Structure 1
């Protein structure tokens, strides 16, 4: 970011002085670090000593960060080329401040819902002649399991899949004790 508040694209290997964020609860403050660093060094420094490189979430925060950068200087902030993209084609690489009633393309940020993975061993008991490794049978078993889980109040967004054994099969016949002797 420049001292005028504009965001510029710089090679991450260049040295600039960073602006770090310091977040405590709902409060965020920004700290200008008077040491030249590459972008990666700045990110590591901010994460080690404060919270992270500053990322302005609104015009007010952009102004607070801008006010810390000395005139005629650029400082590192937390945005970098591979994680953001300007949806409007600015040939000079600058971001602009527009009145709130202007219709412009926008950028959304999405934090995906965390997921967990759980492995469950299933034992099927019965005298069926079904081939339990037949893809159609496996698909129907998954549908039945999902329905049973739904009936038990388990989240309907659950995704079920089979884990294949080393031989490529999902199920195998359990050997009886007399067969193992």
Structure 2
């Protein structure tokens, strides 16, 4: 809060005017968005880390607890509460060979991740339609966890902090694309999530302040 007070006191509102007497500026907080539990990029070909098979209307995250991915019995993906319990599919990787393994035990997503890492390599990364079909066939009509999840908010300088100063009902990730954070200095610098491609004033570190 001390930092927020400093920013509020030094804010140049003339350079932050947005609309309706609101004065917003970007700060360095952002959502890391969807990524695979298996982060070894050497195992992916170009474009494979971005492969998605979302069901129409998905993901539709409305809160931070609904941030893990499962596969429907028809092969489409959905976002769901990570504390729900489903079967899971692990990836067993040996060299360039990837084998998928069904785990027919109900687990939460974190439990499934820990199990796959302890007994195989990691939760399954679905890199293309061929992988999607393999996982679908293993699932045998069951809903299963795969390794895609939405990470928490992070600071762009890599620092760790549990401090937050969100407005009421924020962040809401409206329309699934609000992954950057602005401070509203008409309300003491309280935070809101916004689409990253919107134009805002912004606040930088000064020399020697990092």
Q: TM-score, normalised by structure 2?
A: 0.39
The structure whose Rg is larger is: 1
Q: TM-score, normalised by structure 1?
A: 0.44
Q: Answer 1 or 2: higher relative contact order, Cα 8 Å, separation at least 6.
A: 2
